[in-house]
Structure 1
Amino acid sequence: MEFRIERHSGVAAYQQIAQQVRQALRLGHLSPGDKLPTAAQVVATTAINPNTVFKAYRELEREGLVDSRQGVGTFVRRSLARPGAAGGSPLREELRTWMTQAREAGLDREDVAALLAAELEECYPRAATPPVRQIEDR
């Protein structure tokens, strides 16, 4: 697994690493027992501070997704993969076909991202946040 850090995204590097691991777990690219890259390997490819890697791995460990073994490494504990998200699944193939059609229609990456975000919000709305209660002056 190789991490990509978007320095101007506004998202902390440790959060980007944790999210990329979660995504790899969802897509079946990582499975229980797989070893994550060492902090030294991540630092060599991304030029970030080793503590940033450790922070990401600790977050994933708190979520029960990985186990860190002193002197041995960090290993995947459980998967997040669902059958419809795996490579070669009918849903994945339909999405790939749609993406090809979108590109052929002249849509760029931002257009596709906007369409996906809009449909995602419509089909999977986020739970409404409760209203903030006003504190009365006494």
Structure 2
Amino acid sequence: MVEFRIDRSSGLPAYLQLVRQVREALRLGWLGPGDRLPTVRDVVASSGVNANTVLKAYRELEMSGLVEARQGSGTFVKAGLGTTDPEVMAVLRARLADWVRGARAAGLEDEDIDALVRSVVAAGENEGEGVGVG
């Protein structure tokens, strides 16, 4: 199950943070079709956001075809995201975690790391090179 975390200093509205976290969980294979999202009450209790914020996020996910609300049963994942093999994702995630540890050891802060990653993704650097997992 997904545990939502809201960063009140991010500048991104809380409902969009919830949407992003569900989409990331779908891409990483942590959530899949048939999985149940936390209840609105549980999200409110764990994250401190307003119930209307959670409902807005769940409606947005429903409108995009990713989840469906079932009256009296909850909200369930309807479709997945991403087509990469979960084992490949796990290996790449571990490699990225090692890189992040190295970046932090070099004195980079989270915002520095985020800026570096975004710049590389935006530039498409070395696209297709060195992507192998082995």
Give the greater-gyration-radius structure (CA): 1
Q: Distance in 2 between matches of 1:90 and 1:39?
A: 33
For this pair of structures, how many residues does the alignment match? Answer: 124
Q: Distance in 2 between matches of 1:92 and 1:19?
A: 18
Specify every segment of 5 or more residues in structure 2 that has no aligned partner in the other structure, as ranges.
126-134
Q: Distance in 2 between matches of 1:24 and 1:120?
A: 19
- 1:74 is paired with a residue whose SS is strand
- 2:29 is paired with a residue whose SS is coil
Q: Distance in 2 between matches of 1:18 and 1:9?
A: 14
- 2:92 is paired with a residue whose SS is helix
Change (3 A) 1:114 1:51: same
2:43 is matched with which residue?
A: 42
What TM-score comes out, normalization by structure 2 length?
0.82
The percentage of counterpart residues that share the same residue type is: 51
1:85 deviates by: 6.6
- 1:22-67 Cα distance to aligned partner (Å, 9 max, x none): 1111111111111000111111112222111111101101111001
What TM-score comes out, normalization by structure 1 length?
0.79
2:33 is matched with which residue?
A: 32
2:128 is matched with which residue?
A: none
Output the aligned Cα RMSD.
2.0
1:65 is matched with which residue?
A: 66
1:90 is matched with which residue?
A: 91
Change (3 A) 1:87 1:109: farther
1:136 is matched with which residue?
A: none
Contact 2:40 / 2:54 at 8 angstroms: preserved in 1?
Answer: yes
- 1:80 is paired with a residue whose SS is coil
Specify every segment of 5 or more residues in structure 1 that has no aligned partner in the other structure, as ranges.
125-138
2:53 is matched with which residue?
A: 52
Change (3 A) 1:86 1:74: farther
